[in-house]
Amino acid sequence: MSRRGPGELAEVLDGIAAGAVGREEKRELPFAAVDALREAGVTALTVPTEFGGGGATDEELFAVLVDLAAADSNLPQLLRAHFAHVEGLRLDPDRPGTADWFRAVAAGEVFGNATHERSSAVVESLSTRLTRVGDGWQLDGVKHYTTGSLFADWIAVSAQREGPDGTTVPVGVVVSSRAAGVDLRDDWNGFGQRLTGSGTTRFDRVRVDPAHVVEQHGDGVPTPMTAFVQLVLLACLAGTAQAVVRDATDFVRTRTRVYRHGSGATAAQDPLVLHVVGRLAADAAASRALVLDAARALDAVHAATGPERTGAVEQAELATVQAQAVVVELVLRSTTALFDVGGASATDLGRHLDRHWRNARTLASHNPVAYQLRTVGDHLVNGSGLTYAWATGEAGKEIA
């Protein structure tokens, strides 16, 4: 699936933006928007050209994701697992089956995720199990926050199996979203990002192709994947900031009522209001620039080899974590300051301007900034390692 030109992509994004408020009002999941992105080649943007993809760099991808988030911030987040899966294949091209997966994505197939649990399992442990059944495998478990899986053809699942010595072995499993025993539910009840399909997925005796099971031996090796998945959320925030500028500008241009103690005959002529719009635009531009700067650091990982690669991974992680701290602050400020361009009419439910703050606050709550800033400070002052990968769960002995 070839990459479309800027004009065609802009037309697709305009169509997605036009339906965003209506989908929010009806809580209508954006299946049609995902299909439009498939057809436009966006979901295959970073697949190498020799496999039918767009061959885009990470910087090019994230520029598109910011613009997509400006149209509807739900879309980049629900496709986060998909783009992360493709990124993982690009970073490990010798992985068995990579060429087949690239061709599948180029043909329009989409990946979702099922990694997070809300069980009593401790950090770094999972209750989802892969067990041997005959000459194949069986998957059982319950996952939460399975963002994007409702829209996906394939689901990437994190699980554990029992090793020959009785220990548990972490594995990555890919199953069809339509396989018998897969139950996808739209039960996400957060106040923001409500259309990402971040619900519960249950796996009940799901048969798994042995070729779709990969043992995961991270062994603490630094990986750029954490930076990548975090950067998708930052792209959503940067796009939200762009949407705030768009909506604030439209509001001010059409507003006729003014305050007696205002500074202009119309809102569009009031320097105080124009100052607010200017600040919103500056915050949006800064947020976008930080996202693309971190994306270039990810591109440097792809270009690096040998010992240089380790340094490139560290720089990508550091650039992303530092961008996170600033982008979150800028966008939360913008989504609140948006209401300074008008009076109480800006809070009219029909305008749905509150969705920008709700979405931004929800996105900012992933992997909280407070933990990241402590890690950066410890790294700079004491030379400690960056986090690179993180997980949640009940506190184990080493944490308690």
Residues 267 and 357 in one domain: yes
245: left (phi over 0), alpha (psi -120 to 50) or beta: alpha
Mean pLDDT of the chain: 91
Round to whole Å and give the CA distance between 91 and 95: 9
Residue bearing tokens 């119309």: 266
Q: Is the pLDDT of residue 392 over 70?
A: no
Residues 359 and 249 in one domain: yes
Does residue 80 lie in a domain region?
A: yes
Does residue 279 lie in a domain region?
A: yes
Q: Is the pLDDT of residue 238 over 90?
A: yes
Length of the chain: 400
User: How do residues 267-308 score in pLDDT, each as one tens digit?
Assistant: 778 889 999 999 999 999 999 999 999 999 999 999 999 999
Query: Which pLDDT does position 1 carry in this prediction?
Result: 42
Residues 178 and 316 in one domain: no
Task: Check which CATH number belongs to the domain holding 96 and give it.
Answer: 1.10.540.10
CB atoms within 10 A of CB 383: 7
Per the structure, how many domains does the chain have? 3
Q: Is the pLDDT of residue 262 over 80?
A: no
Query: Which pLDDT does position 399 carry in this prediction?
Result: 43
Residues 295 and 360 in one domain: yes
Q: Is the pLDDT of residue 4 over 60?
A: no
Residue bearing tokens 């003014």: 258
Average of pLDDT values for 99-109? 97
Query: Which pLDDT does position 398 carry in this prediction?
Result: 45
Query: Which pLDDT does position 265 carry in this prediction?
Result: 64
Q: Is the pLDDT of residue 400 over 50?
A: no
Query: Which pLDDT does position 123 carry in this prediction?
Result: 60
Round to whole Å and give the CA distance between 92 and 332: 36
Q: Is the pLDDT of residue 347 over 60?
A: yes
Identify the domain containing residue 81 by its residue range: 6-109
Which residues lie closer than 8 Å to 62 by C-beta, 6 or more apart? 231, 232, 235, 291, 292, 295
Residue bearing tokens 């998909």: 82
pLDDT band at 340 (very low <50, low <70, confident <90, very high): very high
Residues 282 and 315 in one domain: yes
Average of pLDDT values for 160-184? 92
- Residue type (1 letter), 93: P
Average of pLDDT values for 79-104? 95
Alpha helix (H) ranges present in 210-270? 225-254
Residue bearing tokens 């990124």: 87
Average of pLDDT values for 69-79? 98
Residues 377 and 346 in one domain: yes
Alpha helix (H) ranges present in 338-367? 354-364
Q: What is the percent of the chain with per-residue pLDDT over 70, rounded to a whole number? A: 92
